[in-house]
Chains A and B, each alone.
Chain A
Amino acid sequence: MNTIAIKESSPRVDRLQLVAIFGLMLVGVAFVFSATMVHESAASAHLVKQLWFRQIVWYGIGGAGAVALCFVDYHTLTRWAGIAFWASIVLLVAVMFFGTTRGGAKRWFDLGVFSLQPSEFAKLAFVLALGNFLSRPAEELRLASNFWKALGMMAIPFVLIMKEPDLGSALVFIPTGFAMMLVAGVPRRYLFRLIAFFGILASLILVDVLFAPPDWQIKLEEYQRQRLLVYFGKDFAPPNATPEEKRKALQLQAEKSYQGQQALISVGSGGFWGRGWREGQQTALGFLPPGAAHTDFIFSVIAEEKGFVGSVMVITLYAVVLFTGLRIAGQARDRLGKVLAAGVVTLLFSHIFINIGMNIRLMPVTGIPLPLLSYGGSSVLASMIALGMLQNVHIYRKGY
């Protein structure tokens, strides 16, 4: 029975993955509905304005994009990888000048009907471009110069997205790039150096932010410093602060830790079975910020309303998508396909881990969507296209 899925006569697409994706879409629509249809005024709005409906539309557009993608062999696609990559870099630069500012960050182009978040597409372009780069002969991969070039491809979007600022999205590039290099067969010693470098850098920054006296601290963005302090439960106030400053710092801290705290309360109060669909109090009462409940904190809504059972279900669906993705990587016809599939899988996984992690205080709060579940055009489109690429690798595994 287990082997049915991989028989020669098996369908060209990976069906199991499609089922899981479809399940995630259902969950997504249901809980975007639950998170947004809190007030009667929302229900009386025109259907087109209702977000659950828009989410369906986005799934449709994304699905169409993914299907369209599957008609072109990924080898053909990767010829455009360089252009796509540089185009995304241009967009990332442009957003710094023409983007709209929301909550202190410039991440979006306001296109009237919807706002485009170029970093979502930069991730895809990066996967495509790095995959293309790493598909060169194995001997070339051993060259240090190529390793540095690959690192450079990672660094450009990373720095630009950090500048927006969007730490969460930027961080995603590191594991994705790393996994692609690993799968491509870049020598271990380079990878160890990479890990060691980032590990040391990260711990230095942390130690510096958390423990160093103010004069010695490197200049992080204030909000980034605060997020790290919140995450590690450290006082905002410097040790020599006056009581008034301390009070202010405490208040600020309460405000800054509010979202994460409320998300944690939502998840925790779900218990084993949850309160039931549309019964979540944290959303209804607005403790989960109304702007974030259906986007970055959609998982809190699911966890509160469906409990541990719901959480496990969501994770299981993701696990199916991820491991079928790895299977696609394993069955790919060449290194390009394998690296592309591994990249997409790691990209998705990084989003899932960071997003769910921040809902249960495993990770600091960063604005990173949960693939397929979070409401948002850019995120849904990017996720669907990424999954389309996976299926593409699967479809063309035999070199038709």
Chain B
Amino acid sequence: MLIFDQIRKNDAQLQLLAAMLCCGLLVLLVGLWWVQIVNANRYRASVETQSFRTVRIASVRGKILDRNGVALADNRPSYNVSLYLEELSNEFKKDYKNSRPRKVITTDQPFWKDWLGVSPVKTQYVRLTDAESTQVIRASRYRVVQNVANKVSSVLQTPITLNFTNFTRHYETARSMPYCVVSNLSSSHLARFEEQAGSSLGVDLDIQSKRIYPHSNIAAHVIGYVRSDDSSAVGEDAFFSYRTPDYRGFVGIEGGFDQKLRGRAGAKSVQVNNLGYRQTENIWEQAVPGINVVLTLDLEVQREAETALRKTDAIRRGAVVVMDVRTGDVLALASNPTFSPNQFAHGISQRDYDQIQELTAAKNRATAEQYQAGSIFKTIIALAALENGLDKNKLFRVDPNPRNGGKGAYILGNRIINDTAPPGDYDLERAIVRSSNSYFVQVGLQPNVFERVLELGRRLHLGERMDTNSLPLKQIASGHFPTAASSKNWQAGDKANICIGQGEMDVTPMQMAVMTSALANGGTVLKPRLVDRLESQEPTSIEPPLVFPRAQVRDRLGVSKRSLDILRDAMLQETESSEGTGKHVLGCGFRVCGKTGTAERGELRAEGQKKNTTWFASFAPYESPRYAVIVMVENGASGGGTCAPIAHDVYKALANFEARTQSITLTPSTR
């Protein structure tokens, strides 16, 4: 080689030196090869980890709509004014420079400096400890942020309060994220901001999707509630540096369909510099908006059911279930006392929360609370007896109550079963109308009838949870009902209790709605259908909606049409005859078949209180039943007096509903 040839001619020392330089350069080359080629990936990864932060972007939550597309749970853009700290970093520096404490010192300097005219008086920064300078820096930053906030405040003409600790925490932990100074701008504030502060230093608007419930507490129990929660859903990346606000549903549809409603969160990466300020942003996964849930509820029927329920007492505890007996569609599902899901979504005050707890208002009484069925269960006893060959005209004699001659009673051994109906002769129809305990105990204790009652209960799936597909509310109770095995050793008294809907059985209003629908539709035990379909939020989506099938048969009662017809006629008399306990329902626009019920609440009797669960189970119209309406009120006066008037209002709403839907279905043909 041209250079080395020249050196070789010369002495050994130069050659030695050349060899050393060669070695040195070779060492560097090997080192570079090791770092840049062998370990390149490791260092690339280090660059990534130190300069990227990942952010979870919440997706827009799906809406919850009623059967007509009216939103029960909606989203509203919420505008916040946020500070972008990276744009303020120079201000921070400037302010710190100015606010660092200084002192004037006079130095003893050598004489020659005096000659040179160097002034002995100097201003210099006071030396600070780390803790002190941290304090000064934090104060500087806060001052800068406060100044900007004041500017924003004067533009918006609204006071802004900042919190030092809160800001400092944000700065320390998330300085690449915008810091929100005003949240939830009103439209007038928004206009002022857009007009005047658009280009202001380091300030910008950011938009969040906020959950709102436009009808406040209507259908609150069906909707359920959400709370702020930005944790990763199943199947998402679990590790994010930061997250944008998101909601998580707890109960109701919000809870049951939480995954669907949430959609899929997106992700972006924010590149930060060595000070942790944001440099660039890059969205690498767009958020997929959540799916809309369309319910079978009708907002107007629901509203009327709730209004009727609290007509006389705002905190009356009760429930109403309205079901289409042909399809299982739940048209209304009301529970009172109620709450507003808005409170949970936007932060609830302790007082409101305590009140909700005290009233157990968050509990869905229609599906999650179990009650003694009382007399409404006599319909099943009647059905069992008719199937067992009971002649509807056969008269049973009811003796007067030894303690109260005006009322009847049934003497079973040494136990007296009280009756609210007077003594006398009863056939089936009169027994239903007067709700005679004695008649139904006598009938129910006839051979084989009780076994048939158990069989009907099994086919109605009493004592079983409804499956979560039909009731995705996360608040479902199973109730209790005896089985052949559990009632094997029962005495007549235990069976007599069942015959009047009491004793070892509990039901939910929803189960009673299914039972009543089965009586109305010819014996088909349907699955309730609360959700009509799941569909994309995008109107242009090509993905077909997922429609839940109607009229899902869970079981059949397996009884004759004749028996059902007899029962239906008797139930009509309950509302239409002069003696009927359910006559308050009259004039609602339908001929209603009904059965009232009043069950003693055994657990309260022990405490010396006499409180009743009152019921009205009904379906209409008599001619071709379409709707089942179940009303339950805790501690009501009586089924007929308390519950039937509520049912009356609900039927009126249903009549309106029919008129509305017919006009809708007629419109295309008239065009």
Interface residues of A (CB under 8 A from B): 2-3, 5-6, 16, 179, 182-183, 185, 264-272, 281-282, 284-287, 303, 307-308, 311-312, 315, 318-320, 322-324, 326-327, 329-331, 338, 342, 345-346, 349, 352-353, 356-357, 360-362
- Nearest-neighbour CB distance to chain B for A194, whole angstroms, equals 15
Which residues on B sit within 8 Å (CB–CB) of A3? 2
Which residues on B sit within 8 Å (CB–CB) of A312? 29, 32
Once bound together, how far apart are the Cα atoms of A294 and B37, in whole Å? 24
**Which of B16, B33, B46, B47 has the most C-beta atoms of chain A within 10 angstroms of its own C-beta?**
B47
| Contact (A324, B3) CB under 8 Å given A267-B32, A286-B274, A357-B28 | yes
B32→A308 contact, CB < 8 A: yes
Which residues on B sit within 8 Å (CB–CB) of A353? 24, 27-28
**Which of B7, B13, B50, B51 has the most C-beta atoms of chain A within 10 angstroms of its own C-beta?**
B13
B9→A330 contact, CB < 8 A: yes
Which residues on B sit within 8 Å (CB–CB) of A356? 28, 31-32
B10 within 8 A of A: yes
Once bound together, how far apart are the Cα atoms of A357 and B29, in whole Å? 10
B275 within 8 A of A: yes
- Nearest first, the 10 closest Cβ-Cβ pairs linking A and B are A268-B43, A330-B10, A271-B40, A286-B274, A323-B3, A2-B2, A308-B36, A285-B273, A327-B6, A269-B43
**Which of B1, B3, B9, B37 has the most C-beta atoms of chain A within 10 angstroms of its own C-beta?**
B3
Q: A320-B3, A331-B6 are in contact. List 19 more A-B contacts (CB 8 A).
A: A182-B13, A264-B43, A265-B43, A268-B35, A268-B42, A268-B44, A271-B44, A287-B50, A311-B36, A315-B29, A330-B7, A338-B14, A342-B14, A342-B17, A356-B32, A357-B28, A360-B28, A361-B35, A362-B31
Once bound together, how far apart are the Cα atoms of A287 and B273, in whole Å? 7
Which residues on A sit within 8 Å (CB–CB) of B273? 284-287
B125 within 8 A of A: no
Once bound together, how far apart are the Cα atoms of A247 and B271, in whole Å? 28
Which residues on B sit within 8 Å (CB–CB) of A185? 13
A330→B6 contact, CB < 8 A: yes
Which residues on B sit within 8 Å (CB–CB) of A264? 35, 43
- Nearest-neighbour CB distance to chain A for B110, whole angstroms, equals 9
Which residues on A sit within 8 Å (CB–CB) of B10? 329-330
- Nearest-neighbour CB distance to chain A for B113, whole angstroms, equals 10
Nearest B residue (CB) for A1 = B2
Q: A183: which of B13, B24, B42 is its contact (CB, 8 Å)?
A: B13
A-B contact pairs, 12 of them (CB 8 A): A16-B2, A266-B43, A268-B36, A286-B275, A312-B32, A315-B25, A318-B25, A323-B18, A327-B3, A330-B14, A345-B21, A361-B35
Once bound together, how far apart are the Cα atoms of A266 and B272, in whole Å? 16
Which residues on B sit within 8 Å (CB–CB) of A331? 6
Nearest B residue (CB) for A324 = B3
Which residues on A sit within 8 Å (CB–CB) of B1? 2
A183→B14 contact, CB < 8 A: yes
Which residues on A sit within 8 Å (CB–CB) of B241? none
B51→A285 contact, CB < 8 A: yes
B5 within 8 A of A: yes
B43→A319 contact, CB < 8 A: no
**Which of B14, B33, B272 has the most C-beta atoms of chain A within 10 angstroms of its own C-beta?**
B14
Once bound together, how far apart are the Cα atoms of A330 and B13, in whole Å? 10
Interface 0/1 of B209-247, CB less than 8 Å to A: 000000000000000000000000000000000000000
- Nearest-neighbour CB distance to chain B for A356, whole angstroms, equals 5
B271→A272 contact, CB < 8 A: no
Which residues on A sit within 8 Å (CB–CB) of B6? 6, 327, 330-331
A285→B271 contact, CB < 8 A: yes
Q: A267: which of B21, B43, B51, B279 is its contact (CB, 8 Å)?
A: B43
Nearest A residue (CB) for B10 = A330
Once bound together, how far apart are the Cα atoms of A320 and B36, in whole Å? 23
Interface 0/1 of B250-266, CB less than 8 Å to A: 00000000000000000
Which residues on B sit within 8 Å (CB–CB) of A16? 2
Nearest A residue (CB) for B31 = A360
B residues 509-557 in Cβ contact with A at 8 Å: none
Which residues on A sit within 8 Å (CB–CB) of B4? 323
Which residues on A sit within 8 Å (CB–CB) of B44? 268-269, 271
B274→A285 contact, CB < 8 A: yes
Once bound together, how far apart are the Cα atoms of A30 and B252, in whole Å? 65
Q: A272: which of B20, B28, B29, B36 is its contact (CB, 8 Å)?
A: B36
A357→B31 contact, CB < 8 A: yes
Once bound together, how far apart are the Cα atoms of A320 and B3, in whole Å? 9
B40→A268 contact, CB < 8 A: yes
Which residues on B sit within 8 Å (CB–CB) of A329? 10, 14
Once bound together, how far apart are the Cα atoms of A179 and B19, in whole Å? 12
B158 within 8 A of A: no
Which residues on A sit within 8 Å (CB–CB) of B24? 349, 353
B17→A2 contact, CB < 8 A: no
B16→A182 contact, CB < 8 A: yes
- Nearest-neighbour CB distance to chain A for B359, whole angstroms, equals 52
| Contact (A326, B14) CB under 8 Å given A267-B32, A315-B29, A360-B32 | yes
Which residues on B sit within 8 Å (CB–CB) of A271? 36-37, 40, 44
Which residues on B sit within 8 Å (CB–CB) of A2? 1-2, 5
| Contact (A326, B21) CB under 8 Å given A285-B272, A312-B29 | yes
